[in-house]
Structure 1
Amino acid sequence: MSQHHASHHGHQHGTGHGHGPHDHTHLDWSEMAPLLERQAEIASPAYAEAAAWLGTLAPVQGVRRILDVGSGPGVVTSLLAEAFPAAEAVAVDGAPELLALARARAEARNLGARVSTLHAELPEAIGTLGRADLVWAGNSLHHMGDQSAALAEFAGILNPGGLIVLVEGGLPRRHLPQNIGIGRPGLEARLDAAHADWFGEMRAELPGAKDEPDDWRALLAGAGLTPSGTRTFLVDVPAPVSPVVRELALAHYERLRDGLAARLDADDKETLDRLLDPADALSLHHRTDLFHLTAHTVHTARKG
């Protein structure tokens, strides 16, 4: 299975930092990769802030090996390497195309000596990843059917005193105000509801899927770890947005239209078509009220 920094809300998605309503085993990574990379770059200030916070929870010079699990294009891998200058940071993903981007990014930031990549299918390969002082799983755990079992395996490869970091939850991405002048107000809330239904079905179909609450502190404690704090980091790009952010919004809405069409009423489908039509003056191509707003929640726990 491939993961990347792309949450089920299309946040970072990740990355990103995304996973949308598709069978993610059949995504075209070479096509998706630039999009994922740009999504993660927009969230980089939030992730850099999160990495700095982690430096208050773990001894910065004592962290010698970091695993970025479901690394995608490696934006966070390089940020973690910068935040922990004594560490080797390893980007772990199931998509070779994304790992190639992770390597290129590290080289461009003069981190090539300390950033490496590892192709691995997860959760099957967790036990082969080697020991680590910090394991970062950014919107990747929810793509593993038995999250408790995966966390127990991650706990097993953590060195004593090591940290596990989950990016899960937060807030869905927002690009538009409540009333956009097309269709019924509240389009994004209805898209969220349709996406939540899709996400539940996706989870249920994962190998070894277990239906358990998203109580991340309880799941971490159940893996024998000591919860050590949760914080949420904001990604806030107000209107007017840059062409890159506009392009990301267009790609986000194209995926939603393609993936959720069967779950939406005719009015909302027509609204999405208008939003994506460059000839429409109220489309995403021309709107001056377009923005990018989301929040990533980071849960941490320590191995005793």
Structure 2
Amino acid sequence: MTDHHHSHDDHHHNHGVTEPDDSAMAALLDLDAEVLHTFLSDVTSDLARLSPDRPPHRILDLGSGTGAGTFALLQRFADAEVIAVDRSPELMDHLRDKARERGVEHRVRTVQADLDGAWPALDTVDLVWASASVHHLADPDRGLREIFRSLRPGGLLAVIEIAGFPRFLPDDVGRGRPGLEARCHAAMAEARAEHLPHLGSDWGPRISRAGFTIEAERPFSIDLRPPLPEATGRYAQATLRRARSHLAGALSADDLATLDHLIDNDAPDGVLRRDDLHVRVERTLWAARRP
């Protein structure tokens, strides 16, 4: 289970379909964490407020990808250890390398597992973090029941889900036809309806049916305007490049040519050099407690 898949929508650390290029996915996930670090800080701060008397010590990160959630949680909870679970061996290797670079390898354990199969045998934990991952499960209701069993009584579940991949471009971008990014989103949404039917679900009722008590539901409208972090251009390029790989046949030849130009490393007005990028992302946190 990877915390992401297809671009971002399918981004956010994933499951269900083997990634054709995990190295590209690793770069995309790292850029997402770098550009949206404030969002991660806000979410972990919310979880800390929900655990004032008993901060989590054992944490399970499901669909950990390259560790955006793992490292945000380790920073927030100084005494915590994280079990990071993902389907991809390459992303697991990348996460372990990052843990060593940050000097926290002794606080991280990695487990490779396909959560549509046998659930890994793990000790009970205090907090489960599932960021952009439960919608990739073939049977998310079964997954939530397994999560319930993994948590100690009183433990917390944090489900973070996405509405789609981020938007970066001004509305007037498009060769003779404004609205290129909107058309990309529409085409991706049509493809997702078949391959990711659980994306965009209302997770509150499903979490409650699994036995949890919902303690918080918080939407995040992330809106980053210039001046933006240096990595933003590379983040936009990686996201649009991944989207492009799924859009052949879904967009006009002119739209595909414009998209190819925008993600070209050498294009003078490509996303690597534009000063009018604007990052817009919608994500929602559901925090729930096992009674």
Same fold (TM over 0.5): yes
Partner of 1:208: none
Most deviating of 144-153 and 105-114: 105-114
Alignment partners' CA distance in 1, 2:53 and 2:90: 31
Most deviating of 177-186 and 113-122: 177-186
Alignment partners' CA distance in 2, 1:262 and 1:108: 42
Check conservation: 1:176, 1:291, Cα contact below 8 A: yes
Partner of 1:3: 2
Matched, 1:216 2:216: no
**Equivalence map 1:288-303=2 (5 Å):** 288-303=275-290
Matched, 1:48 2:47: no
Partner of 1:32: 25
Partner of 2:67: 74
**Equivalence map 1:101-120=2 (5 Å):** 101-120=94-113
**Equivalence map 1:59-208=2 (5 Å):** 59=52, 61-170=54-163, 172-180=165-173, 182-203=175-196
After TM superposition, give the deviation of residue 12 of structure 1 in Å.
8.9
Q: Scaled by the length of structure 2, what TM-score is found?
A: 0.89
Number of residue pairs matched by the alignment: 291
Amino acid at match of 2:274: R
Structure number with the bigger relative contact order (C-alpha 8 A, sep ≥ 6) is: 2
Amino acid at match of 2:46: W
Alignment partners' CA distance in 2, 1:280 and 1:110: 39
After TM superposition, give the deviation of residue 11 of structure 1 in Å.
6.0
Check conservation: 1:50, 1:233, Cα contact below 8 A: no
Most deviating of 62-71 and 233-242: 233-242
Q: Scaled by the length of structure 1, what TM-score is found?
A: 0.85
Amino acid at match of 1:201: E
Distance 1:212 1:82, change over 3 A: closer
Identity of aligned residues (%): 37
Task: Note the residue ranges of structure 1 that are not aligned, 5 or more in a row.
Answer: 205-210
Amino acid at match of 2:11: H
Amino acid at match of 2:12: G
Alignment partners' CA distance in 1, 2:229 and 2:126: 38
Task: Note the residue ranges of structure 2 that are not aligned, 5 or more in a row.
Answer: none
**Equivalence map 1:282-293=2 (5 Å):** 282-293=269-280
After TM superposition, give the deviation of residue 272 of structure 1 in Å.
1.4
After TM superposition, give the deviation of residue 188 of structure 1 in Å.
1.6
Partner of 2:245: 258
SS of alignment partner, residue 171 of structure 2 = coil
Distance 1:87 1:26, change over 3 A: closer
RMSD of equivalent CA atoms: 2.6
After TM superposition, give the deviation of residue 138 of structure 1 in Å.
0.6
Check conservation: 1:70, 1:140, Cα contact below 8 A: yes
